[in-house]
Structure 1
Amino acid sequence: MSAVGALAEVRDGRRVWRGTSGVAEVGTTRGVPVDGRVRAGSITKTFVATVVLQLVAKGRLRLDDSVEGWLPGVVPNGQHITVRQLLNHTSGLYDYKDTLPMPPSQEFLDNRWRTWTVSELVERAVAHPPTFDPPGSAYSYSYSNTNYLLLGEIIEKVTGRSYGNEIERRLIRPLGLSGTSLPGTSPWIRGPHPHGYIRTEQGLLDYTELNPSLFGASGEMISTTADLNRFFAALLGGHLLPRRLLDEMKTPGTKDGTYGLGLSWRDTSCGIRVYGNDGDELAYQTYSFATADTRHQVTVAVTPNFTTNPDGPINALIDKAICR
């Protein structure tokens, strides 16, 4: 596999298999810790979406509420963009990530410890025209991290607490996700973890530590394979949301799409559909999927070495775990 290291947890009913491969750190023989913590990237979005839908379930927020109603003046045309469209990436808002320098540029490296504010990142996004207009078309989908920054701000407006605090008290603590955290601006991964790397002109650079405010509500979470499996089992098992909202979560926002309200799906080679999400957070790539009945689950994380794309081998692993 195209990775420095990898770790996985597969669940088949009551049976659990955990395994690792590769090394935890380049230049050593130290194995990847089976309970290692990784940066889970966009899997954060599923946690954020779950909190939003819990607020919808309590009548504190509506999926058809406008962004303008909750965040007046923050985005152009906000009166025509809804919470639902933020969740399923049909808002048309430009992705702030596409405005930022990326590896291997020196400008990217210079920003490693910088604290970014949500307003800074959103301003970078809205300086660009929307990727499509009007928002909400049945055929228009454009993945944008900007959407989830705004959802994080809406959670705070509704509850008076940060999205991180709401995820902590609604999901992390009740589910006992002891290896999961939202670090805010803290650059460290607390507890056992493999090192992550980015590719530079000089080769692999250890990028385990960085200021995760760059990702915020779109992807700052740290977690473990076991915690992610536990979360998706609770979510898909109907323990976190009413059935009607879980069904909404599974429903793609566009015709022939595969991304619903913070949750995506894919069909395996044997025709079994799985639900979950994946995350690419520069130095870590994480994938977590489960069958609708949660009997079969697989979560795998890799620290890429960038020789080839790990998606192929990971997809094969997911197929093998689900289809056996």
Structure 2
Amino acid sequence: MKRVLRGLVAATTVAAVVATPTVAMAAPDRTALQTQLDDVVAASAVGALAEVRDEHRVWRGTSGVAELGTTQPVAARSRFRIGSITKTFVATVVLQLVAEKRLRLDDTVEKWLPGVVPNGDHITVRQLLNHTSGLYDFKNTLTVPPNPEFLDYRWRTWTAAEQIQRAVANPPTFEPPGSAYKYSNTNYLVLGEIIQQVTGRPYGVEVERRLIKPLRLRETVVPGTSPWIRGPHPHGYVPIEQNGKVQLVDFTEMNPSLFGAGGEMISTAADLSRFFTALLGGRLLPPYLLEEMKKPAVEGRNYGLGLAWIDTSCGIRVYGNDGDALAYQSWSFTTPNGDHQVTVALTPNFRADPDDLVDAFLDKAICNVG
């Protein structure tokens, strides 16, 4: 949902329990990373985990607690909802179909989904991938926390067609398509439908058969409507107003069709590192399409075809994505040659925006490993 609660954190105060941080692998030279992870939790999270890899070592750190009201530490190998990192998986499948000449980046939405999107004959697959379509964001049609009506979505099953219809009932955020950048989850809901039209199979099936199984991402799933996170995982929370007070409500179990192709997947730090290493290493796409993926949507943006990047303080550019699944936030980035990877996942407490502190952690992990 891409920071759907960004404007909420400054106004909402909620209580969280903080436990003694744990480290899954002793690494004295990475004490600073643990300290920075603790700082993230102290400022903005119930719990967090991080995994940092280089050519020789793996460091895993955790901080905070896995569940409010307990002292249970976060498991270093936890599963979590990856939010918009799902978009990179979906984009990779789309580009594989382009490589197979079953789809073109310049194909219009109208070609594959006639009548589904207004002005669809002027919106291309490329514009969906890089958020330059102008399509209104489905998430903006939702009731959001702290409104208690948000909890009505917990068990509801959404279809992509329903979500797209709600979005396009609103005017585009800009015109003509391709003239500007505006992040919209609707773009990837449409791409999920296009994948099904091209292949005859749901986008989640294609993600599984093309990416999850070949890469042996054993802890990664496209859950569909299943509300559970299997295996070790931290609890995630959303702030909800109850009896005149804003309190954290456990939102771990929920129907992830709310996010759909824009953000429903579940994974682990290790699996995300494996996926991004394979992608950037050229194992999933031909070179010309990987380069297309890295081209900015518009000048000055750090987002291409489902892939984002960060320029670190030491001059190293890392590629990956970040995700916001409301009760879970995550970041996963890798150097182009795959010799350094960093993934962070946290369960926010909405007392503050964690982005700046997480950015500092990512920079430290890439620039000062070892």
For residue 253 of structure 1, report the CA deviation from its aligned partner: 1.4
Which residue does the alignment assign to 1:154? 194
In 2, the alpha carbon distance for the partners of 1:232 and 1:180 equals 13
In 2, the alpha carbon distance for the partners of 1:48 and 1:117 equals 17
Matched, 1:294 2:326: no
Matched, 1:320 2:364: yes
Deviation per residue, 1:56-78 (Å, 9 max, x gap)? 00100000000000000000000
Which residue does the alignment assign to 1:170? 210
Which residue does the alignment assign to 2:123? 81
Deviation per residue, 1:100-146 (Å, 9 max, x gap)? 00011122111211111111111111111101111012xx0000000
Matched residue of 1:31: which SS? Answer: coil
Matched, 1:5 2:51: no
Structure 1 window deviating more from structure 2 (57-66 vs 103-112): it is 103-112
What is the RMSD computed on CA atoms of the aligned residues? 0.8
Q: What does residue range 39-50 of structure 1 map to in structure 2 within 5 Å?
A: 39-50=81-92
Matched, 1:233 2:233: no
Of 201, 223, 238, 1:183 maps to: 223
For residue 44 of structure 1, report the CA deviation from its aligned partner: 0.2
Structure 1 window deviating more from structure 2 (215-224 vs 115-124): it is 115-124
Which residue does the alignment assign to 1:307? 351
Of 67, 81, 89, 1:25 maps to: 67
Which residue does the alignment assign to 2:237? 197
Deviation per residue, 1:199-234 (Å, 9 max, x gap)? 122411111011110110000000000000000000
Of 120, 128, 137, 1:95 maps to: 137
* Aligned-partner residue type, residue 140 of structure 2: D
Which residue does the alignment assign to 2:149? 107
In 1, the alpha carbon distance for the partners of 2:125 and 2:340 equals 31
* Aligned-partner residue type, residue 145 of structure 2: P
In 1, the alpha carbon distance for the partners of 2:263 and 2:57 equals 30
Is the 8 Å Cα contact of residues 251 and 327 (structure 2) preserved in structure 1? Answer: yes
**Large movers: runs of 4+ above 3 Å:** none
- Tell me the TM-score normalised to structure 2 length: 0.86
Unmatched tracts of structure 2, length 5 or more: 1-39
For residue 316 of structure 1, report the CA deviation from its aligned partner: 0.8
Count of matched residue positions in the alignment of Structure 1 and Structure 2: 322
Which residue does the alignment assign to 2:301? 257
Deviation per residue, 1:234-258 (Å, 9 max, x gap)? 0001100000000000001111211
Structure 1 window deviating more from structure 2 (66-75 vs 202-211): it is 202-211
* Aligned-partner residue type, residue 149 of structure 1: L
Deviation per residue, 1:27-73 (Å, 9 max, x gap)? 11111011100000000000000000000001000000000000000
Is the 8 Å Cα contact of residues 159 and 257 (structure 2) preserved in structure 1? Answer: yes
Of 101, 104, 110, 1:62 maps to: 104
For residue 14 of structure 1, report the CA deviation from its aligned partner: 2.8
Identity score, percent: 72
In 1, the alpha carbon distance for the partners of 2:152 and 2:201 equals 31
Is the 8 Å Cα contact of residues 53 and 341 (structure 2) preserved in structure 1? Answer: yes
For residue 87 of structure 1, report the CA deviation from its aligned partner: 0.1
Structure 1 window deviating more from structure 2 (81-90 vs 112-121): it is 112-121
For residue 263 of structure 1, report the CA deviation from its aligned partner: 0.1
Matched, 1:208 2:258: no
Deviation per residue, 1:70-109 (Å, 9 max, x gap)? 0000000000000000000000000010110001112211
For residue 266 of structure 1, report the CA deviation from its aligned partner: 1.3
- Tell me the TM-score normalised to structure 1 length: 0.98
Unmatched tracts of structure 1, length 5 or more: none
Is the 8 Å Cα contact of residues 51 and 61 (structure 2) preserved in structure 1? Answer: yes
**Larger C-alpha radius of gyration, 1 or 2?**
2
Which residue does the alignment assign to 1:72? 114
Is the 8 Å Cα contact of residues 148 and 240 (structure 2) preserved in structure 1? Answer: no
In 2, the alpha carbon distance for the partners of 1:44 and 1:173 equals 16
In 2, the alpha carbon distance for the partners of 1:251 and 1:193 equals 35
